[in-house]
């Protein structure tokens, strides 16, 4: 019997990415952000989410991609990092999809090196490749970058 998983999907540039739906608190439109002085470039700022202060991380920066055009506003995918929430800024939202475990593979060799470390693996869908974002590793890497830089992360 194959196990099925549900993923919240989104796009960052030409990458089709997904996160386990259980890690996603909510998906919201662009929110005004307060910049954090001396923060790493991937930390775009802080948003106020109904009284909770949430760090907004731009996945384009994180993945070493060009910055988005200032007129193009990102979407927020709010994910849980243990007891904290973090906003991942993405270009656009996809759907919640369900995939079979048997479609899961290691990250393909064609995935750029700076992206490969943040990807758990890939699902071969009929029309495209879904890259599974390793949110724990990515958030830990962001925290370590902040600590190395001696800068405020949240």
- Nearest Cα neighbor of 72 from 9, 32, 30 is 30
- We report the CATH number of the domain holding residue 21 as 2.40.50.180
Cα 68-117-89 angle, rounded to 5 deg: 30
pTM for the predicted model, two decimal places:
0.85
Choose between 119 and 77: higher pLDDT: 77
Q: Is 154 within a domain?
A: no
Choose between 112 and 88: higher pLDDT: 88
Q: Is 153 within a domain?
A: no
Residue with tokens 């970058």: 145
- For the chain, give the mean pLDDT: 86
Full domain range(s) for residue 44: 4-146
Q: CA distances (Å), 55 to each of 79, 86, 88, 118, 149, in order?
A: 11, 5, 9, 18, 17
- The per-residue pLDDT for 64 is 84
Count of domains observed in the chain: 1
Task: State the first-to-last Cα distance of the chain, in angstroms, to the nearest integer.
Answer: 43
Residue with tokens 């849980």: 80
Residue with tokens 């259980």: 22
């Amino acid at each position: 019997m194959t196990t099925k998983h549900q993923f919240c999907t989104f796009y960052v540039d030409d990458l089709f990415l997904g996160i386990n739906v259980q890690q996603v608190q909510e998906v919201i439109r662009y929110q005004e952000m307060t910049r954090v002085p001396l923060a790493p470039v991937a930390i775009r700022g802080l948003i106020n989410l109904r009284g909770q202060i949430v760090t907004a991380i731009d996945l384009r920066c994180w993945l070493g991609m060009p910055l988005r055009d200032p007129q193009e506003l990102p979407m927020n995918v709010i994910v849980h990092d243990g007891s904290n929430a973090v906003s991942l800024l993405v270009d656009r939202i996809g759907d919640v999809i369900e995939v079979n475990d048997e479609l899961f593979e290691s990250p393909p060799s064609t995935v750029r090196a700076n992206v490969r470390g943040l990807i758990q693996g890939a699902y071969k869908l009929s029309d495209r490749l879904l890259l599974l974002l390793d949110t724990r590793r990515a958030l830990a890497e962001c925290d370590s970058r902040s600590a190395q830089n001696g800068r405020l992360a949240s």
